[in-house]
Amino acid sequence: MEAFNILNALAITLLSIIGGIWTFYKLFYKYKSKVLFITNCQILHKKVWEAMLDEESLKIEKHGEEDFAFRPLVLLPHSMKKYTDIKNGKKAVLESVNTKNENNLKIVAEIFWIPEHMKPWCNTKHPLFSLLLRRYFGIERPMYQDEKDKDMKDTDWKPVSHCADHLNPLNRFDKGKNVIRWAVSKSYTFRFFNPFKGTYHKDSTSDNFIEYCGLSIVLRKRSIIQSDKD
């Protein structure tokens, strides 16, 4: 019985030490880790993804013709390196509190850096989110039967038309007008960015890509000492 009590005391002591070390490293990691706060994002489209795949230094593995849309991917502009030290091809945690503050939305995504020399995509000023991420965070959804402003008047959505150049028809495609249509959450505003000129516009044209504004998403490095439930 005495031996059992000794072993039990040793086990409790060992667990306490392990717990203390774990807590220290958790607090130390959270203190030291850099956090990127994302307020704007652009769409990750086919042309920029093809350029990334062609960049030998990145060594990106392709997972199908539409992986740029259906993989949880974030492309980061080089100017954001001072905010996060995550490496190319590594995974990070994206977390957002939705606009109604009902619950946290969290997902693990692959991160790639847009090289400084990769023109015109190096002119991008904000992260690029894949289609899967944009839908997961409720930024956009497919167009249903409601494709006009009046059809969405009493909903939380508004329609958007985007030039079909550089995109796959993964939303409603109007071949006659060469545009793709989908719905955007009214919680966000949007504008169009031209990476070839580095300018913003109100309208969608061949080289203008939509950018969503007003997000509240945190990107932080994923770690073995970090639980996905934190």
Q: Which of 4-8, 75-79, 103-107 has the lowest mean pLDDT?
A: 4-8
Strands (E) across 67-122 are located at 73-76, 91-97, 104-113
pLDDT in tens, 15-42: 666 655 555 445 544 544 578 899 999 9
Residue 12 exposed, middle or buried by CB count within 10 Å (0-12, 13-18, 19+): exposed
Distance CA 22, CA 34 (A): 20
| Per-residue pLDDT tens digits for 116-175 | 999 999 999 999 999 999 999 999 999 876 666 667 777 889 999 999 999 988 888 888
Enumerate the H helices of 94-218 as residue ranges.
Answer: 131-136
Confidence (pTM): 0.80
Amino acid symbol at 182 = W
Instruction: Give the tokens for residue 24.
Output: 């220290």
Residue 110 has pLDDT above 50, yes or no: yes
